[in-house]
Amino acid sequence: MTELATSRVVIIGAGLGALYAAMRLAPRPVLVISPEKLGEGASSVWAQGGVAAAMAATDSFEAHARDTEIAGAGTVVPEIAQMVTSEAARHILRLTEIGTPFDRDASGGYVMSREAAHSAARVVRVKGDQAGREIMQSLIATVRATPSIQVLEGVMAVDLHQSGDHVTGVFLTRADQPSESVLLHAPAILMAGGGSGGLFAVTTNPARIRGQVIGMAARAGAVIADAEFVQFHPTAIAVGLDPAPLATEALRGEGAVLLNNMGQRFMLDEHPDAELAPRDIVARAVYREYQAGRQPVLDTRAVLGAEIHERFPSVARACLAAGIDPALTPIPVAPAAHYHMGGIWVDRLGRSSLKGLWACGEASSTGLHGANRLASNGLLEALVYGRICADDIGKEIALCDAPEVTLDFAAGGRQPCADTIAKLRQAMTDGVGVIRDKAGLEKTISVISEMSRNEENIVFQNMLATATLIACAAHQRRESRGGHFRSDYPQPDPAQAQRSLMLLAEAEALRDRVSASLAQPA
């Protein structure tokens, strides 16, 4: 195995948080590890809604923080919500400075959308539904022009190297073909490689986002927080694609309604805010209609008509590719794994429980989202904690020159089995999906346990680690709260209104106990 050392800060991932942190660290030398070409394969690129920020004179960051806490269902850390929302406006201005073409009105003000559980229209958008792509293009251009930032594309992190409880390096392989790993020692590592949506059979996440980064940190002994809280977006476009295209929540903000195949607007009986209820409530309602065979649809015809093609081009393109004109026909929808509120536990400075390891973006769990992420707070958190992590790493790492890193991968290794990954994804959807119960959770835990025996592929080990944490944390939380709903414990329990913290070793012990119990004869 080849072993190298660099004095560059290594950033694992190439989404919004990763690139923002790399820019903030300049002129400190940085190495960004990107499995795909920049701008491809990152969840940030696919974000449609925008960035939540109290930009209007009639709004305030305090109101934004209050909405965040309400949506988070009792487990948001108030100080984190206040801090993150108070920074939002300045990051919008910074993105504007580097060329992000936010939608503006005739007087030059920012055009904002209202999304679910927000008390005001405060989601700053770009070209209707293209915020993620346009913000990322601005960041990519800036990163490409920054001499201190080196980007290695087509390279994937698969494991962490440690000396005691200190992370000192990362094992890297080719992303697109099997290869032997290269160990790269580095003074600091920032985990910014996305969430876990692809662990489920129906997801809006890019294909590679399957919990590997969280699993990698968990296998190294990092504390994982809130693993059970997975957000299912209620309106993925149900046309049989994997990943599923997304019908942004901004459509419902514009007045689009959810109907079943009998023409009934079923959200009116679910919540006073109907289609703009918190995402978990809408997702469960859509799921129940779908399970009952009453195919739910999102009807934009009355409020947008043909304007959808111009105002929401990403949605319109996805529909037209499937033979649906949303100006004439309602959009078939279904819930899909969308965002993981849980992840690598970090403190206020973005530090994990392991020395030398920071995390930001969806791979982290900061305490902002609680049990249910407020719409469009994901990109905001990535910006704020990208800044926070960069500033803290900058205090730890001296400014120095660093040559570019050159990697030479030897042939070898193997890719995880596609059929086995598909089996894991289906098990997660069946037992740890929108609605959970003890029997379903234990069946999925047993499937994960069976898969874990003698598994040697390190990429799949990372997926299994995250799946184990999600399923076991869901098994332990015997209540319903936010994105975690158990039909056998349908009410929230005030005694459990707190974040969950778990080590992989603890989750594996529970996994083995459950599996052994199920294996015993009745």
Active site positions, annotated? 279
Residue 260 CA: distances (Å) to CA of 130, 286, 407:
28, 9, 54
List the structure tokens of 489.
């414990």
Give the integer Cα–Cα distance in Å for 11 and 21. 8
Taken as a whole, the chain contains a residue count of 522
**Closest C-alpha to 68, from 374, 348, 343, 359:** 374
d(CA 482, CA 274): 17
Selection from 510, 474, 379, 286 nearest residue 95 by Cα: 379
Angle at 347 between CA 155 and CA 33, to 5 degrees: 10
Q: CB burial class (10 A; 0-12, 13-18, 19+) of residue 135?
A: buried
CA distance 107 to 275: 31
Structure tokens at 203: 């997801």
- Copy the structure tokens of residue 251: 């459509």
With CA atoms as reference, report the closest residue to 189 among 399, 460, 7, 4.
7
Residue with token string 């033979």:
323
Interatomic CA distance for residues 159 and 459, integer angstroms: 8
CA distance 520 to 486: 25
